[in-house]
Each structure stands twice: as structure tokens, then as C-alpha cells.
Amino acid sequence: MNTTANGDLKIDGNGSAPGGAYDTVRINGTGKITGNVSCRMFRINGSGTVTGDLTTDDGKINGSGTVDGNIDAKKCKINGSAQIKGGIKGDSLSVSGSVAIGQTVDVLHVKLEGSAKISGDVKAETFQSDGSFELNGLLNADEITVALYHLKSKAGEIGCGKINVSMATTGFSILRSIFTLGQYNPILEADTIEGDDIYLENTVAKIVRGNNIIVGRGCVIDLIEYKGNYQKTGDAKVQVEKKI
């Protein structure tokens, strides 16, 4: 463990350090910080644990990281594997690895290119997924964009201004379909989807409710309630359609 006069903390090997206020924190080996940590910049490049809360302007986990408390970060990026036992709030959350979050996510902008499992609700202005997610609670965002590359994404309830769920048609998804003899069929599952403007492909839901709704290929919906325009295309299956 190395600390400098200006309040930096660096763990290069196997070490531990107390929580506190630092300028930069770097864990390059296997490190443990006991207690709450606040810093301008936080990095895990090896395997790191924080036993309390983490507050930072710029946080990044490139290896394997565990935070036993909450994260409050202007910018939080997870490139490796992370377990956050509390919640996350801040300006942006980006995941290109995998993350498990135990409580609520309240972040302005969420971008998923890997996988995320979230036990609480998600509140955001924009939510973009090119990966996969499992949300047990409510996903509430002004604008939601989901490109289905992986086997399944799932949310309990979805509330939004605008949502676009579409099948990915290039790159990985085409190769995956070839190698699975055309049986590759990624979907989004939700109990309820409610928004102003809704476009869905490969979505399975009990209730879809909104102003303007388009349901396309691969959709299986129990009930659709719409106020404005409604269109069903492709092989979409809807049991009940109701204008309200």
C-alpha cells in the first residue's frame, strides 16, 4: 500500500487500507478498503473490495470489484465483473462487463453493452441496452432503446416516454443464428410496458399500454390498450386490442 502527501491511495500487491477521503484510489493487485471511501478518481485493475460506500467523480472497475455499500458517482464504468450490494446513483453508468446490483439505480444515463442483474428499480433519463439485463423492479426512463443480441432480457414493469425494442440484425446475432440452426431467438420479457410512443419486436408482455403503439415480429402480447395509433405487423400475436 502506498499513500502520498496529496492524499492518493495505491495498492499494488495484496494489501488493505482504511476508508477515508483521498484524491485518487488505485487497486492494481488484490486490495481491500475498510469503511467508506470518497475520492476524485477510483480504479480497480485487479481484484478489489470496498466494505462501505463509495463516492467518486470518476469510477472504473476493470477487473473484479465488490462494493458492500452504495456508489455515488458522476461517472461509473464497469469493464470487468462487479457486485454492488447497495444501489448506484449519479450521472452515468456504463457496463461492458457484468454487474449485479442489490438495490435501486438512479442515474441520468445508463448504457449496457454487457450484462446487468438489478434487484431494485431503475430510474434514468436514457436507458440503452446492447447487452442483456434482468430487472426485478420498475424500469422508468424518458427514452429506452433495447437491441436484442442475447438470449433474454427481463423487467418487471417498464414506464417511459419512448421505447424502441428491436432485433439486432448484424454481427454477433447473425453468427449466433447460423450456429444454432436458426433457433436463436432473443426476447424481452415484461409484465407491463407503458409509454407514449412504443415500438416492439420480440417482446413478450402481459399488458402494453400507450398512445402510439407498433408491435412487430416475434411479439406475444396478452392485452394492448392504446389512445392514438396502433399497428400490428409481421407475425405478432395479440390476444386483446382495446382503444381507450
Within the chain, residue ranges assigned H as helices are 172-179
* Residue 179 reports pLDDT greater than 80: no
DSSP single-letter state for residue 218: T
Q: Which residues of 224-234 are buried (b: 16+ CB within 10 A; e: fewer)?
A: bbbeeebebee
Residue 186 lies in a domain: yes
Task: Please indicate, yes or no, if residue 119 is contained in any of the structural domains.
Answer: yes
The single-letter code of the amino acid at 110 is V
**Which range marks the domain in which residue 55 is found?**
43-243
**38 occurs within a structural domain:** no
Residue 3 domain flag? no
pLDDT of residue 170: 52
pLDDT top residue among 63 and 144: 144
Residue 32 forms part of a structural domain: no
Indicate the DSSP class of residue 131: S
Please write the tens of the pLDDT for every residue from 116-129. Answer: 999 999 999 999 99
C-alpha cell at 230: 396502433
Asked if residue 140 is part of any domain, the answer here is yes
Overall average pLDDT of the 40-66 stretch: 96
Q: What is the mean pLDDT of residues 217-230?
A: 97
**pLDDT exceeds cutoff 70 at 24:** yes
Which DSSP category does 175 fall into? H
Q: Is the pLDDT of residue 10 over 50?
A: yes
Question: How much of the chain, in percent, has pLDDT values that exceed 70?
Answer: 90
pLDDT at 175 over 60: no
Is the confidence at residue 6, as pLDDT, over 70?
Answer: no
pLDDT of residue 184: 53
Reply yes or no on whether the pLDDT at 34 is more than 70.
yes
Q: What is each CA distance from 180 to 6, 183, 235, in whole angstroms?
A: 56, 6, 21
Share of the chain above pLDDT 90, in %: 84
This model's pTM is above 0.85: yes
Q: Is residue 133 part of a domain?
A: yes
Mean pLDDT of the 48-58 span:
97
Residue 177 counted as domain residue: yes
Q: What is the model's pLDDT at position 94?
A: 97
Q: How far lies 36's CA from each of 102, 200, 206, 241, 244, in Å?
A: 18, 43, 42, 52, 51
Number of domains forming the structure of the chain: 1
